[in-house]
Amino acid sequence: MPPRQQVVRIARHPDGAPCAGDFVLDEDGLTRPADGELLLRVVYLSIDPYLRAMLGARYLTGRPPVGAVVPGSGLGTVVESRDPRFAVGDVVVGECGWREYTTVAAAGVRRIDPEQAPLSTALGVLGMPGLTAWSGLRFIARPKPGETVLVSTAAGAVGSLAGQLARRDGARPVGIAGGPDKCRLAVDEFGYAACVDYKAADFEAQLRAACPDGIDVYFDNVGGKVLEAALGILRPHARVVLCGLIEQYNAAQRPPGPNLGPVIGARATLTGHVVYDHFARFPEFLAEVAPALRRGEIRWREDVRRGLAAAPQAFADLMQGANDGKLLVRVDGDPFGGRAAG
């Protein structure tokens, strides 16, 4: 083990869209694990939109101070274990932070089966974003065959699985994404029946054309004008999953709220969705989605950047839509070369 490691710290809290200069590469020592802890070598870091909400003091947990190592979940291999349930070489997902090595409480990590799928999927389609899509559909939206399910960020980590699961339920998934390339991807790769570009000047007209009978479910990952447009086409007793507000994460002030009049007319239900409420359901989620993924029935896409130093720009790209699937940073070599073990 080296005596020092590279880390990325918060240089300043972003003002508007984050940029690489909001972060700084630095060095730190390694903390040896105490009883009940593990020392991990970080292999992949997950780059997630909630970090922007965190840095803007709008997240469930507090705002990390300037100078702190950037928080974030990751996947690592155990290099030293002080917990009898874990051995050197085990693969786990936990709160790693943007660093090469991390010391974590064994009680707070999730063990990964490397034979199930490529390791990186444990942070994406088979990880927190996948669980978000699955639990939002299964326990809030509950789509029925023939219903129309509208999903925003349709080509992203959460949205790409939400659409595929809705289709597997016999519903008609319609996506919303930024730009023609992502819309094409949503249809061709992720099985959306149609996908509408929210950046197009005639977005609302295109949305109505793609959903001529209105929508039964809206899985909202963006908020703002896209949410307002979706509320305007709700069918009676529609269900809206309020999952993300990425359209306003970069704003200093919360923008004026949407006009909720159509919710009354549609007798619709709006439900806030927080994936942490469903973490105990990981085994149930994996039992359904992992076999389908292995059979090739579920598709996923990852945008893997190389090296810890790439993390700041990766995050800036995520918040501009310049990611091509689940955004990950590969900090160290994947011990299985990006394939499932065995």
Binding residues for ligand NAP (CB under 6 A):
48-50, 129, 132, 153, 155-159, 177-178, 182, 221-222, 243-244, 246-247, 273-275, 318-319, 321, 323, 326
Taking the complex as a whole, the smallest distance from the CB of residue 19 to ligand NAP amounts, in Å, to 14
Taking the complex as a whole, the smallest distance from the CB of residue 139 to ligand NAP amounts, in Å, to 12
Taking the complex as a whole, the smallest distance from the CB of residue 249 to ligand NAP amounts, in Å, to 7
Under 8 Å between Cβ of 11 and 42:
no
Q: Which is nearer to ligand NAP, 21 or 276 (CB)?
A: 276
Q: Which is nearer to ligand NAP, 86 or 134 (CB)?
A: 134
Q: Which long-range contacts (CB under 8 A, 24 or more apart) does 11-14 make?
A: 11/66, 12/66, 13/55, 13/56, 13/63, 13/66, 14/52, 14/55, 14/56, 14/250
Q: Which is nearer to ligand NAP, 8 or 318 (CB)?
A: 318
Taking the complex as a whole, the smallest distance from the CB of residue 300 to ligand NAP amounts, in Å, to 11
How would DSSP label each residue in 10-39? E-S--SSS--GGGEEEEEEE-PPP-TTEEE
Q: Which is nearer to ligand NAP, 37 or 302 (CB)?
A: 302
For residues 273 and 140, what is the distance between their CA atoms, to the nearest angstrom? Answer: 8
Taking the complex as a whole, the smallest distance from the CB of residue 317 to ligand NAP amounts, in Å, to 8
Q: Which is nearer to ligand NAP, 77 or 323 (CB)?
A: 323
Q: Which is nearer to ligand NAP, 90 or 317 (CB)?
A: 317
Closest among 187, 161, 193 to 288, alpha carbons compared: 161
Give the torsion through C-alpha atoms of 191, 197, 198, 201, to 10 deg: -160
Residue 334 tokens read as 């994947």
For residues 316 and 25, what is the distance between their CA atoms, to the nearest angstrom? Answer: 15
Taking the complex as a whole, the smallest distance from the CB of residue 330 to ligand NAP amounts, in Å, to 17
Under 8 Å between Cβ of 291 and 272:
no
Alpha helix segments (H runs only) across the chain: 50-55, 128-135, 157-168, 180-188, 203-210, 224-231, 261-265, 282-294, 311-318
Residue nearest to ligand NAP (CB): 156
Taking the complex as a whole, the smallest distance from the CB of residue 314 to ligand NAP amounts, in Å, to 11
Q: Which is nearer to ligand NAP, 5 or 323 (CB)?
A: 323
Going from the C-alpha of 99 to that of each of 4, 21, 46, 60, 334, the distances in angstroms are 11, 17, 12, 23, 16
Going from the C-alpha of 222 to that of each of 91, 99, 178, 247, the distances in angstroms are 33, 29, 11, 5
Strand partners, 328: 46, 304
Provide the phi-psi class of 321: left if phi over 0, else alpha when psi is between -120 and 50, else beta. Answer: left
Taking the complex as a whole, the smallest distance from the CB of residue 265 to ligand NAP amounts, in Å, to 26
Q: Which is nearer to ligand NAP, 9 or 278 (CB)?
A: 278
